[in-house]
């Protein structure tokens, strides 16, 4: 009898499973549009120039690897605050933001979830339907009951905004609402500024707790533009949680660089919140790793490297947009009758293509084109070499 006799085999992560299938596929034309990773026009994961320059500068002055403070590198946390809230913003100036360096955006979400669980153990969490798969699992594992608010309407290929508002208005006070700040994963549909205003009013009226997940700042319309919703929330004076990920915007997936920022009512409250966030970190993994945070802090705080980053991020953003247009045009040229222009209405890395599971299965087995069962395609993995083949393949299954 083993302690583990009754341990069940957990289901495989669907995306990682898709990768394994892709790697084993002998089709020389195969294209992986399953994972949420940006590839350049040569199909390569980029190593940004600004990152290389920052690493070189760090190597030129090697430093010993002591433990970081529990909340991370101070220059990193202040750069995150400046990026997310604006360096000159009143909340930052008044010391109302508590920020901790986190292990990726996932780590930021988890620190927030654990802190919230202690604060209000009875609260429910609402995530969008659909949402990034890990949202439900992460908040469930933190001990919450997780429900959803309506978000995507397949029939109209747009946000079911009335449904979303109705669900938020029906939520009990204290409910934690996870919102995608920009570049909604998986649908690619964001709210308009006017819709955000209504969502914010509903969140405030119902006394809900907003938790903004910002995993793609700069991948949509621009760094400022994508972060604008944060300013709108802050302007109401509400308490606010914001998780940040630099995985995509710095192409630093494996370094696990992210953050959690919590907006408090005043400086003294922020200090108390920070002390609790530090306990969450301390009891989970003690303190964050040094390298990724040092690189990002260097880039964000050095005017030259910062300008270089903004340019490189802009290039990624522009390339994704170009691929969206090429996809629309290419599908038309390949004989698809249906109007596919909704693809250019979407934003960020992903496109909800509207393809069924059966169509996605055919794309995979007959053409070696991999996306998720839900029809989500990673537009950021398209390039000038694979786009025609992808369009021809999709045309075949439609
Ligand atoms: N939130 C969303 C919406 C995401 O898409 C992702 C990454 N796919 C994350 C959070 C997590 O980011 P990270 O890889 O930095 O943990």
Options 132, 167, 190, 309, the catalytic residue? 132
Residue 116 lies in a domain: yes
Residue 55 lies in a domain: no
Q: Which of 191, 241, 185, 245 is nearest to 218 (CA)?
A: 245
Q: What is the mean pLDDT of the chain?
A: 96
Q: What's the rounded Cα separation, in Å, for the pair 224 and 198?
A: 21
Residue 16: per-residue pLDDT: 81
Interface pTM, i.e. ipTM: 0.99
Helix (H) or strand (E) segment spanning residue 363: helix 357-367
* Ligand 1 atom showing the smallest separation from residue 245 Cα: 15
Residue 326 catalytic?
Answer: no
Q: Supply 363's token pair.
A: 């794309």
Residue 154: per-residue pLDDT: 92
- 338, with CB counted inside 10 A (0-12, 13-18, 19+), is exposed
- Which of 6-15, 64-73, 215-224, 271-280 comes out lowest in average pLDDT? 6-15
**How many other CB atoms sit within 10 Å of the CB of residue 398?**
19
Residue 81 lies in a domain: yes
Residue 7 lies in a domain: no
Q: What's the rounded Cα separation, in Å, for the pair 138 and 373?
A: 21
Pocket lining: 106 vs ligand 1, CB cutoff 6 Å: yes
Q: What is the mean pLDDT of residues 66-84?
A: 98
- Indicate the pLDDT class of residue 12, thresholds 50, 70 and 90: confident
Residue 233: CATH number of its domain: 3.40.640.10
- Indicate the pLDDT class of residue 321, thresholds 50, 70 and 90: very high
103 with 174, same domain: the answer is yes
100 with 129, same domain: the answer is yes
Residue 11: per-residue pLDDT: 86
Domain count along the chain: 2
Pocket lining: 213 vs ligand 1, CB cutoff 6 Å: yes
- As beta bridge partners, residue 237 has none
* Domain termination residue (choose one: 284, 301, 318): 301
- As beta bridge partners, residue 232 has none
Give pLDDT tens digits for 103-159. 999 999 999 999 999 999 999 999 999 999 999 999 999 999 999 999 999 999 999
Q: How far is the CA of 353 from the centre of ligand 1 (A)?
A: 21
Residue 15: per-residue pLDDT: 80
- The single-letter DSSP state of residue 336 is -
* Ligand 1 atom showing the smallest separation from residue 258 Cα: 15
Percent of the chain with pLDDT over 70: 100
Options 81, 117, 248, 364, the catalytic residue? 248
Residue 340: CATH number of its domain: 3.90.1150.10
Q: Which of 252, 219, 226 is nearest to 48 (CA)?
A: 252
95 with 32, same domain: the answer is no
Percent of the chain with pLDDT over 90: 96
239 with 351, same domain: the answer is no
126 with 193, same domain: the answer is yes
Q: Supply 40's token pair.
A: 């350049």
Residue 5 lies in a domain: no
Residue 248 catalytic?
Answer: yes
Residue 144: per-residue pLDDT: 98
Q: What is the mean pLDDT of residues 256-275?
A: 98
142 with 285, same domain: the answer is yes
- The single-letter DSSP state of residue 337 is -
Residue 17: per-residue pLDDT: 85
Report how far apart the first and last C-alpha atoms of the chain are (Å, whole number).
Answer: 53
Residue 14: per-residue pLDDT: 78
The answer to whether 250 and 47 are in contact (CB under 8 A) is: no
77 with 140, same domain: the answer is yes
Q: What is the mean pLDDT of residues 350-379?
A: 95
Pocket lining: 393 vs ligand 1, CB cutoff 6 Å: no
* Domain termination residue (choose one: 268, 301, 334): 301
Structure-derived torsion over alpha carbons of residues 192, 111, 54, 43, reported in degrees to the nearest 10: -60
Q: Which of 4, 40, 105, 131 is nearest to 319 (CA)?
A: 40
- The single-letter DSSP state of residue 189 is -
Q: What is the mean pLDDT of residues 319-338?
A: 96
319 with 195, same domain: the answer is no
Residue 54: per-residue pLDDT: 98
Q: What is the mean pLDDT of residues 195-200?
A: 98
Pocket lining: 215 vs ligand 1, CB cutoff 6 Å: yes
Tell me the three state secondary structure of residue 31: strand
* Domain termination residue (choose one: 301, 331, 348): 301
335 with 297, same domain: the answer is no
Q: What is the mean pLDDT of residues 328-345?
A: 95
210 with 265, same domain: the answer is yes
Q: What is the mean pLDDT of residues 79-90?
A: 96
Q: Which of 139, 95, 145, 151 is nearest to 123 (CA)?
A: 145
Among 18, 105, 216, 379, name the best residue to mutate to test ligand 1's pocket (greatest count of ligand atoms within 8 A of Cβ): 105
Residue 245 lies in a domain: yes
Residue 290 lies in a domain: yes
Residue 200: per-residue pLDDT: 98
147 with 287, same domain: the answer is yes
- As beta bridge partners, residue 263 has 97, 240
Residue 391: per-residue pLDDT: 97
Count of residues making up the chain = 398
Tell me the three state secondary structure of residue 263: strand
Options 77, 190, 213, 226, the catalytic residue? 213
Give pLDDT tens digits for 211-263. 999 999 999 999 999 999 999 999 999 999 999 999 999 999 999 999 999 99
241 with 384, same domain: the answer is no
Residue 13: per-residue pLDDT: 81
Pocket lining: 245 vs ligand 1, CB cutoff 6 Å: yes
Q: What is the mean pLDDT of residues 27-41?
A: 95
* Helix-, strand-, coil-residue percentages of the chain, each rounded to 5: 50, 15, 40
Q: How far is the CA of 245 from the centre of ligand 1 (A)?
A: 6
CA angle 133, 378, 228 (to 5 degrees): 75
Q: How far is the CA of 343 from the centre of ligand 1 (A)?
A: 22
Question: Is the pLDDT at 294 greater than 90, yes or no?
Answer: yes
Residue 249: per-residue pLDDT: 98
Residue 54 lies in a domain: no
Q: Which of 73, 111, 83, 284 is nearest to 211 (CA)?
A: 111
Give residue 242's domain range: 67-301
């Amino acid at each position: 009898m083993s302690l583990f006799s009754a341990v069940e085999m957990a289901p495989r992560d669907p995306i990682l499973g898709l990768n394994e299938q892709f790697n084993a596929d002998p089709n020389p034309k195969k294209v992986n549009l399953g994972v949420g990773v940006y590839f350049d026009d040569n199909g390569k994961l980029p190593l940004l120039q600004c990152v290389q320059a920052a690493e070189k500068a760090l190597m030129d002055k090697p430093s010993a690897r002591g433990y970081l403070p529990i909340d991370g590198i101070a220059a990193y946390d202040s750069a995150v605050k400046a990026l997310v809230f604006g360096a000159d913003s009143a909340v930052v100036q008044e010391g109302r933001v508590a920020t901790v360096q986190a292990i990726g955006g996932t780590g930021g979400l988890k620190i927030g979830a654990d802190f919230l669980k202690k604060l209000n153990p009875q609260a429910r969490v609402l995530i969008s339907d659909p949402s990034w798969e890990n949202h439900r699992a992460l908040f469930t594992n933190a001990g919450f009951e997780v429900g959803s608010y309506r978000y995507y309407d397949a029939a109209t290929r747009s946000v079911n905004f009335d449904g979303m508002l109705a669900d938020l208005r029906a939520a009990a006070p204290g409910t934690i609402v996870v919102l995608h700040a920009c570049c909604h994963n998986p649908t690619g549909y964001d709210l308009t500024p006017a819709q955000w205003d209504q969502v914010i009013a509903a969140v405030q009226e119902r006394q809900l707790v907003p938790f903004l997940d910002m995993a793609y700042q700069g991948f949509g319309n621009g760094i400022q533009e994508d972060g604008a919703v944060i300013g709108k929330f802050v302007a109401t004076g509400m308490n606010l949680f914001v998780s940040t990920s630099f995985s995509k915007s710095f192409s630093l997936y494996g370094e696990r660089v992210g953050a959690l920022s919590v907006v408090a009512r005043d400086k003294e409250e922020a200090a108390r919140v920070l002390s609790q966030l530090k306990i969450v970190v301390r009891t989970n993994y003690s303190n964050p790793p040094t390298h990724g945070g040092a690189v990002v802090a260097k880039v964000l705080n050095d005017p030259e490297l910062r300008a270089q980053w903004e340019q490189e991020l802009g290039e990624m953003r522009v390339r994704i947009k170009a691929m969206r247009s090429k996809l629309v045009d290419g599908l038309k040229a390949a004989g698809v009758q249906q109007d596919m222009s909704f693809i250019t209405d979407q934003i960020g890395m992903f496109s909800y293509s509207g393809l069924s599971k059966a169509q996605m299965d055919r794309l995979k087995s007959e053409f070696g084109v991999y996306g998720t069962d839900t029809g989500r395609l990673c537009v950021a993995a398209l390039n000038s070499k694979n786009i025609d083949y992808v369009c021809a393949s999709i045309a075949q299954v439609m």
